[in-house]
A = this chain, B = another copy of it.
Amino acid sequence: MSHNHSQAPKLGKLFLVPAPLDFGCDHDVDLQLVMPLSTLTTAANITHWICENAKTTRAYLKRIDVYSSLKVPVQSQVISELPRQVHKKGDHLGSFDAKPMLAAALQGEDIGLVSEAGMPAVADPGSSVVRAAHDLGIQVIPLVGPVSLLLALASSGLNGQNFAFVGYLPQDAQERSRRIKELEQFALKSGQTQLFIETPYRNAALWAALVQSLQPNTRLAFSSGLTLPEAVSKSAVTQHWRKLADGQMPEGLSNHTPAVFLIGV
């Protein structure tokens, strides 16, 4: 029996490695500002990665190396990209089977799952990999790091005891307006804060639609550039925002910086 036991392969673990929130921004934040030391040292010891984009991951590993020396050089890391567009919007798994991507963990290697910004598998791909890990009996360990949605929620003064993140709103103006009103009705009725995001270059269009569509007393909040030097979080009733010059975004919100939007009571 002990003979069989010693032959059982020791499984590697799947670490969920958060990334800083400066992706696509002008300046890199100092990783020590946003990451616990142990997140950096744990990441530095991982040699196998699953990610959205290998180039971004290599750049991130180089930044980690400044604080905690990588176990193996960047060019020797084994980096696999998640397939793109494997599923339609709203379907977080699609028909994609991520189990083969975890083969190294079955051989005993720890694997890091990382996204372009923030926590993998939250408002980002990766849940298919996490699910595959559970199905294979591979231990899943989340590491602490910045999560824009929760930083924005805490900063909003809106209900943090009942909230939902609903992803992106429709791009079509009419559908977007309809969706905003639907979310507002639900927020007013249930007291559940509604969070959503937008591709930065559409922030102005979304903001204009929000200020136009929401009722005067509904509270509208946003956080922009979270964890960056220019970070701004603001919260006020819609009628306050309407007083800004026509179509103008509030100070701190721009078409260049990732933002989180929130409506509620």
Q: Residues of A at under 8 Å CB distance from B? A: 16, 30, 32-38, 90-92, 119-124, 126-128, 130-134, 140-142, 144-147, 149-167, 191-192, 221, 223, 226-227, 231, 233-236
- 8 Å CB contact of A157 from B36, B131, B141: B131
- 8 Å CB contact of A163 from B30, B145, B165, B223: B165
Given contacts A38-B33, A92-B191, A165-B162, A142 and B151 within 8 Å (CB-CB): yes
Q: Contact: B155 with A142, CB < 8 Å?
A: yes
Q: Contact: B144 with A227, CB < 8 Å?
A: yes
13 new A-B contacts, CB < 8 A, other than A120-B154, A127-B159, A163-B164, are: A32-B37, A34-B144, A92-B159, A122-B154, A123-B160, A126-B154, A141-B155, A144-B144, A144-B146, A147-B150, A150-B150, A162-B166, A164-B165
Complex Cα–Cα for A162 and B227 (A): 23
Name the residue on B nearest A33 (C-beta): B38
Complex Cα–Cα for A36 and B236 (A): 30
Task: Give chain B nearest CB distance to A25 CB in angstroms.
Answer: 16
Complex Cα–Cα for A35 and B91 (A): 33
- 8 Å CB contact of A134 from B132, B153, B166, B234: B234
Given contacts A123-B161, A149-B150, A150-B147, A155 and B16 within 8 Å (CB-CB): yes
Contact partners of A161 in chain B: CB under 8 A: 90, 92, 123-124, 127, 165, 167
Complex Cα–Cα for A120 and B233 (A): 15
Sampled A-B contacts (17; CB under 8 Å)? A16-B154, A35-B144, A36-B36, A92-B158, A121-B157, A121-B160, A124-B160, A130-B154, A130-B156, A130-B235, A131-B235, A132-B157, A134-B157, A140-B157, A142-B151, A142-B152, A142-B155
